[in-house]
Chains A and B, each alone.
Chain A
Amino acid sequence: MYGTTAKILRVDLTTGNIETQTLSEDFYRLYPGGKALAGYILLTELPPRTDPFAPENVLVFANGLLTGAPVSTATRYVVSARSPLTGGYGESEAGGFWGPELKMAGWEAIVVKGKAPTPVYLWVNGDQVEIRPAGHLWGRFTAEVQEEIRRELGDDKIRVLQIGPAGEKRVRFAGITNDLRHFNGRNGLGAVMGSKNLRAIAVRGNQRYQSLAYDAKTLMGIGGKLAKMVKENPLSWDLQQRGTPGLVEPLNTGGILPTRNFLQGAFENVDEVKWEAYEREIFTASRTCYACAVRCKREVKVDGRESPYGGPEYETVGAFGPNCGISDIHAIAKANELCNAYMLDSISCGATIAFAMECFEHGLLTLADTGGLDLRFGNAEAMLKVIELIGRREGIGDLLAEGSKRAAEKIGGDAPYFAMQVKGQELAMHEPRGKYNVGIGYAVSEIGADHLVVAHDTAFARPEAIQLKAAAPLGITQALPPRSLGEEKMEMFYILEKWNSLEKVTGFCFFGPAPRSFIPPEDVLLSINAATGWNLTMEEALTIGERATNLARLFNAREGFTRKDDTLPERLFTGLQNGALQGQAMPRDEFEQALTILYQKKGWDPQTGLPTAEKLRQLGLDWAVSVISEQ
């Protein structure tokens, strides 16, 4: 068996028991890592309707099949559990160095069950694994904790994955960080980790991925070729130059920059938050993830000093900037630092504060509720104070720490209308009224509103554009308008969703493979085959992605999710208030018809939105047919 260490580390924090599970080749071929492995474990080991904060919740850290390979952007691992934010399948991916280090330590995944009686951290030093006390780390910011763990263990090259004070306090959108700069932000999985009294997992390894590969020479050759391609491909070159903050101005020009809680699509002060302002005011350097030549990560100054937490990505600039009506790039950088110190998902945090600002402007929240904070759109000082209150669950922060959906239900009145969420998770900073497949992705995603379900529509609008041409090996050849739905658009969605899901199984970043970025699909396939010796076809590879999506769908079916949950916030069916797409709305009837078409393509029942028995058998998931028959 090649391309894998075939070992899973299993830790029961209640008993302190530590075990090793060895995977079989048959199992590995069906569930070869990341999303697929995590989905299988959750579906088979987590009892339905388990309280996300109960010791019985299962927390999985699963490397992708290629995580740690010497191939740019193959750095990612999945964290998964039942989400306290959505109540459904929880999942979030991160890059950085922790996943590759875990592979070098000899492990494909860590499965954590139970709850430690007192705070602990896990120390994985190759095959030596130890549960250590973490009482002295509890309540402290992430930068201090990383330094303390490295000092305590006497090795500054140890990779530290951890939660922050927000996860300890069970903020429902608390995230997980590694190396302080890479984040499993979404779905509140940091709160699950906190509920288990698990502050951190420190890892050190000394193997090399090449020793696991079927054909290391070919794999190294692909890696070398891709590293050279980064500077010669316009898409990856742009990511290297500007990082994701480069998205701000073009989105604004196109009228699809979420502004003031998605009321508007253009921000009048965009010049103060676009990349040129970011570069001039806060940017200091570029950084990267393990073995990645793209180098899209940003370093910044905050309060006149180098921040230990890296710089805000586009999502963070968008969430704390235009979506809160704020044009102070320094305040946005500070908001990013606070999120990373407390370890909050910056998307959900910014979006929840934008929701609160709209509630405040409509009198649904008052100065008495906010502790005297004038929480109107544009008040950067109030925004920064609220982030800290959320991180500590104090005052208005305790309410907002529940996420916008739960907070809206408690506030009442029109508040639920202002909560821009799907399945309880806040929308990312992408406007579906200008990119309809992004809206379909928000609706059908098993983790709630997620912007990484498919490559966005705008890539495929022009017949001769490089991204459309790069998608040809996937079977996508026809240019389609971003604001369109229907049969052909849903076929595009279906293929792209399988492809993106494959990325989450294999450990590739959204900014690696075409059509979003520079790696030809053929080279993705070649990398998988060089690692494993499988000789997969493209169709077989896409089936791996589809299988993983169906596992997550089955998990949600068991928790009571159906087609009715695949929807969008009501506001998106109304017109944008300004910008290039002023007046444009998501067409409700076309949206519902598109969902029906998509379900049929996916082999899901159009009435319930659940996979059919026939589809599950086709995917080799015969054992899971009972999951749907019990619904």
Chain B
Amino acid sequence: MKLYAGGHLTFYMPGRKHSLEISLREPTPLREILAQLGIPLPEVALTALNGELVEAETAIVRDEDQVKVFSAVNGG
């Protein structure tokens, strides 16, 4: 699975890199992956799974998926 973390979620990513690839043997709840990475769920405002908006709390992801998570965007 390819994960991209945008906005201030990049801050929580390993090495503060905006994206990484994770091997998944079976469908996995996204919230478990985010928890393992240390990305706080309350900071995740938007989640796109293969380009479609989903809820991070309930999304299940597979090895071939592309996931983008973003923090709240505040303007300015």
Contact = CB atoms under 8 A, between A and B. Distances in A.
Contacts of A463: 42
B45 A462 contact: yes
Contact of A451 (B12, B16, B45, B75): B75
Contacts of B11: 234, 237-238
Contacts, number: 80
Nearest to B72: A458
B46 to A, nearest CB: 5
Contact of A458 (B10, B12, B40, B74): B74
A250 B7 contact: yes
A250 B71 contact: yes
A409 to B, nearest CB: 29
Contacts of A435: 75
Residue of B8, B45, B46 with most partner-chain A CB within 10 A: B8
Interface in A230-263: 234-235, 237-238, 241, 244, 246-247, 249-251, 253-254
A465 B46 contact: no
A435 B76 CA distance: 13
Interface residues of A, number: 35
A621 interface: no
Given A234-B43, A250-B71, A580-B53, A452 B8 contact: no
Contacts of B16: 237
A438 B12 contact: no
Residue of B6, B10, B40, B76 with most partner-chain A CB within 10 A: B76
Chain B, interface size: which category?
20 to 34
B70 to A, nearest CB: 4
B7 A465 contact: no
Nearest to B52: A580
A501 interface: no
B48 interface: yes
B22 to A, nearest CB: 20
B26 to A, nearest CB: 27
Nearest to A455: B74
A51 interface: no
Given A253-B53, A254-B46, A244 B8 contact: no
Contacts of B6: 246, 249-250
Residue of B6, B71, B74, B75 with most partner-chain A CB within 10 A: B75
Given A462-B42, A464-B40, A253 B72 contact: no
Contacts of A199: none
A465 B43 CA distance: 5
A143 interface: no
A461 interface: yes
The 9 A-B residue pairs with the shortest CB-CB distance, nearest first, are A464-B42, A234-B8, A234-B11, A250-B70, A458-B72, A238-B8, A250-B73, A462-B42, A456-B75
Given A237-B16, A246-B6, 19 more contacts: A234-B8, A234-B11, A238-B7, A241-B10, A244-B76, A247-B75, A250-B6, A250-B46, A250-B71, A251-B73, A253-B48, A253-B68, A430-B75, A435-B75, A451-B76, A462-B45, A462-B72, A464-B42, A511-B76
7 contacts: A253-B46, A314-B76, A451-B76, A452-B75, A462-B72, A467-B74, A511-B76
Interface of A: 234-235, 237-238, 241, 244, 246-247, 249-251, 253-254, 314, 428, 430, 435, 438, 451-452, 455-456, 458-459, 461-467, 510-511, 516, 580
